Chain A
Amino acid sequence: MSSDHDHHHHHDHDHSELSETELRVRALESILTEKGYVDPAALDVLIETYETKVGPRNGARVVARAWTDPDYRERLLKDGTSAVAELDYVGRQGEHLVVVENTPDLHNMVVCTLCSCYPWPVLGLPPVWYKSAPYRSKAVKDPRGVLKDFGFELPPGTKIRVWDSTAEIRYLVLPMRPAGTEGWSEERLADLVTRDSMIGTGLPKRPHEVA
């Protein structure tokens, strides 16, 4: 089954970096945790309630535009960074956004344990499980199993490709447009696009789910 998925391993051996502000936030968080003022698990749960409230979540707009405008879709797949910037979103310097497209034959899934690898300005906050080591290793070894854990099964003929972010490259999955959405406006389509569908651990909502 080695053809079942290609694992694109792009990690370089550069060290990690945290901004001055992130360093201060982490310092405070560890001290408050050690002193018993903050329970990190409870903090995670609280932050998870804001998961769609971080960043403008331009990703859904990007996907909806690609579904309705073939020229935009082409530009997006060729140069994700500029195509996303067309919609007023400007990424952080030095980061390239690569958009990978799902087809009936190929399903893409993005994996990385680091917050800083995750294109939150496009997607919103990363889910907590996304950073967990078990998710990461299982996604690499058994992507089909991971998708099953998330509640969907791909047709046996669909290949799965796993993408690993680097310091310079972020990935965004362009999911397939759901059936039964012919003639829908871009805005309506954007409501179908979930964060998980842009990581590849979920599918877009179906029309009846947002009716």
Chain B
Amino acid sequence: MATRSQAAREAIRAVPGIPRDDDGPVFRAPWEAHAFAMALTLYERGLFSWNEWAAALAEEISRAQGAGDPDTGETYYLHWLATLERLVAIKGVTSTETLHRYRDAWDHAADRTPHGQPIVLQAEDFG
């Protein structure tokens, strides 16, 4: 995974505030690792540079602070996720409407899935 950790190191250099230890990024919850990995993958696909990412993330954070976010670090990946959603829409990968439609579909999928079963998205979840 040499190239992967390379990309992660570049991210840490270019993007301020990524929670980390000596080896690299650390996460408070599994979804944070997913959000980080998605950004890393999109960066590798050339969808954005880390500088561009850092600027968009900074905007997201200052907007949240304006709205009263205490910025204690606990919400870092929430801003990260919002940045992802905004950038994929700006870059035309998908639209905000599609993101909402899939969010609702996952909600539906979770609702009909008994506890203990893997939650799988199906066509019927798109109402």
**Chain A: residues with CB nearer than 8 A to chain B?**
11-18, 21-32, 35, 37-38, 42-43, 45-47, 49-50, 53-55, 112-115, 117, 120, 125-126, 131, 133, 164-167
Contacts and interface: CB of A to CB of B under 8 A. Distances in A.
Interface string B101-127: 011011100111111111101000000
Contact of B41 (A13, A38, A50, A125): A38
Given A26-B103, A50-B33, 15 more contacts: A11-B116, A15-B115, A21-B78, A22-B31, A23-B107, A24-B81, A24-B85, A25-B35, A25-B81, A26-B106, A27-B105, A31-B99, A32-B38, A49-B5, A117-B115
B114 A13 contact: yes
* B106, B107, B116 interface centre (most CB from chain A within 10 Å): B116
A31 B98 contact: yes
Nearest to B37: A46
Contact of B117 (A16, A26, A126, A166): A16
Q: DSSP class of B's interface residues: helix, strand, loop or mixed?
A: helix
- What 3 pairs across the A-B complex have the smallest Cβ distances? A27-B102, A27-B103, A16-B113
Interface residues of B, number: 51
Contact of B25 (A25, A26, A53): A53
Contacts, number: 152
Given A49-B4, A53-B33, A30 B121 contact: yes
B24 A53 contact: yes
B60 interface: no
23 contacts: A15-B111, A15-B113, A15-B115, A16-B115, A18-B110, A27-B100, A30-B121, A32-B42, A37-B45, A37-B47, A43-B34, A43-B41, A50-B25, A50-B33, A54-B27, A54-B32, A55-B29, A113-B117, A114-B116, A115-B30, A117-B115, A117-B116, A166-B116
Contact of A47 (B28, B37, B114): B37
Contacts of A11: 114-116
B38 A15 contact: no
Interface in B31-73: 31-38, 40-42, 45, 47
B38 A29 contact: yes
A120 B41 contact: no
A119 to B, nearest CB: 12
